[in-house]
């Protein structure tokens, strides 16, 4: 067994897992449906009470005229950018070099829509107003991902968002929000979702990240934008005859967890504080601005996999099953706080941190 397999196996065996909402098993759907009347009619090709009620509820929550439920954010966002490009007659958009569309979607935007992205800002930094102002190319739409996941879930100042929004509005550039984790950042900004979305022409939110549903996304904006997005959803085969398992679970877990984001955020700050006390360990951001952060080790991935497997076996506490190498001497993992953290005994968490500190100190030359 290689080190990664043994880390995965050791993680599976742990009694407590500090991150997330628990194992992604069928129980999630069973729980969401437990009080649903079985005689309720399903949605059919984007129509029907179940889908229309949820779309209306989310449009209101996000402060937008209308909203459309999509099976995935990948589909919803490529469509959003396509609509804004068609409207301007210009197939150019701008976004961060590490945003989801650029690194996780097999170039769907380029291959399916022939849209050219301009990459703004250094990959390790957030997009600032100057990056937008300095851009030489004319673009149809700027996409901002909040929080910027691949750099630990960092967030710009709220004032920066306001300034970028004003600038784009003045220049006739549409502003789209990749709000896969929008609910998770509200406590940091101390704003409502509608206040943040008001800065953007269109917005996408996800229901399987901080919310912990099965899958699914909402795309929201003005009525003509959402009407067009429904046509594209059909073209993309996204109009599944019935989407109710996703919608009902999204709705159920939204109601359960949207108000818990502040608690997850506070817990993320506590846990990051503990990691930062360890030798050779630092978090990005140093103080989290949502429920997520990255844990960086000044040690090789292979060594950390051995250390963590040992700690999991000794304590029964799992931190992650997936370490990513950055260089020969550094690696990291991503951690998002959900329901599981509150169920993990805090003395045990402190013990894990103590062991981590000791074992990393034990590696020569760190």
Ligand X SMILES: Cc1ncc(COP(=O)(O)O)c(C=O)c1O
Q: Which residues bind ligand X (CB under 6 A)?
A: 72-74, 100, 145, 149, 178, 180, 206, 217
State the minimum distance, in angstroms, from the CB of residue 334 to ligand X: 10
User: Which residues lie across from 204 on neighbouring strands?
Assistant: 178, 219
Place of tokens 């960086």: 296
Q: Give the chain's count of helices (H) and strands (E).
A: 16, 13
Pair of tokens at residue 242 = 């019935």
Q: Which is nearer to ligand X, 291 or 344 (CB)?
A: 291
Q: Which is nearer to ligand X, 98 or 307 (CB)?
A: 98
Question: 320 near 19, Cβ under 8 Å?
Answer: yes
Q: Which is nearer to ligand X, 164 or 219 (CB)?
A: 219
Cα–Cα distance for residue pair 366/360, rounded to 1 Å: 7
Pair of tokens at residue 352 = 């894990």
Q: Which is nearer to ligand X, 14 or 206 (CB)?
A: 206
State the minimum distance, in angstroms, from the CB of residue 115 to ligand X: 16
Q: Which is nearer to ligand X, 99 or 317 (CB)?
A: 99
Q: Which is nearer to ligand X, 178 or 303 (CB)?
A: 178
Cα–Cα distance for residue pair 274/288, rounded to 1 Å: 12
Pair of tokens at residue 183 = 């609910």
How far is the first Cα of the chain from the last one, in angstroms, to the nearest whole number?
26
State the minimum distance, in angstroms, from the CB of residue 217 to ligand X: 5
Q: Which is nearer to ligand X, 18 or 182 (CB)?
A: 182
Which residue minimizes CB distance to ligand X? 73
Give yes or no for a cis peptide into 248 (omega within 30° of 0): no
Question: 283 near 272, Cβ under 8 Å?
Answer: yes
Cα–Cα distance for residue pair 203/77, rounded to 1 Å: 9
State the minimum distance, in angstroms, from the CB of residue 71 to ligand X: 8
State the minimum distance, in angstroms, from the CB of residue 80 to ligand X: 11
State the minimum distance, in angstroms, from the CB of residue 2 to ligand X: 26
State the minimum distance, in angstroms, from the CB of residue 305 to ligand X: 24
Question: 135 near 92, Cβ under 8 Å?
Answer: no
């Amino acid at each position: 067994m290689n080190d990664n397999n043994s880390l995965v196996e050791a993680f599976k065996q742990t009694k407590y897992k500090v991150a997330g909402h628990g194992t992604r098993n069928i129980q999630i759907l069973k729980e969401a449906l437990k009080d649903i009347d079985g005689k309720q009619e399903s949605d059919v090709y984007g129509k029907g009470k179940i889908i229309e009620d949820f779309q209306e509820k989310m449009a209101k929550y996000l402060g937008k005229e209308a909203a459309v439920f999509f099976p995935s954010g990948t589909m919803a966002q490529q469509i959003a950018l396509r609509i804004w490009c068609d409207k301007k007659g210009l197939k150019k958009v701008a976004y961060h070099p590490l945003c989801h569309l650029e690194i996780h979607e097999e170039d769907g935007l380029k291959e399916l829509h022939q849209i050219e992205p301009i990459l703004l800002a250094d990959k390790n930094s957030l997009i600032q107003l100057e990056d937008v102002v300095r851009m030489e190319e004319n673009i149809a739409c700027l996409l901002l991902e909040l929080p910027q996941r691949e750099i630990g879930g960092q967030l710009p100042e709220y004032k920066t968002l306001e300034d970028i929004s004003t600038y784009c509005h003045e220049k006739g550039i549409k502003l789209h929000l990749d709000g896969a984790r929008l609910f998770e950042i509200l406590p940091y900004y101390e704003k409502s979702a509608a206040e943040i979305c008001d800065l953007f022409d269109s917005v996408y939110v996800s229901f399987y990240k901080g919310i912990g549903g099965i899958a699914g996304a909402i795309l929201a904006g003005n009525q003509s934008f959402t009407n067009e997005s429904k046509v594209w959803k059909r073209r993309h085969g996204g109009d599944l005859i019935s989407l109710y398992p996703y919608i009902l679970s999204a709705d159920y877990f939204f109601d359960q967890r949207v108000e818990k984001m502040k608690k997850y955020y506070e817990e993320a700050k506590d846990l990051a504080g503990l990691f930062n006390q360890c030798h050779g360990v630092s978090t990005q951001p140093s103080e989290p601005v949502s429920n997520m952060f990255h844990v960086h080790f000044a040690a090789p991935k292979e060594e950390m996999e051995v250390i963590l497997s040992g700690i999991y076996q000794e304590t029964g506490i799992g931190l992650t099953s997936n370490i990513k190498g950055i260089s020969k001497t550094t690696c990291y993992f991503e951690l998002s706080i959900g329901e599981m953290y509150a169920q993990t005994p805090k003395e045990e968490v402190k013990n894990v941190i103590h062991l981590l500190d000791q074992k990393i100190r034990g590696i020569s030359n760190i």
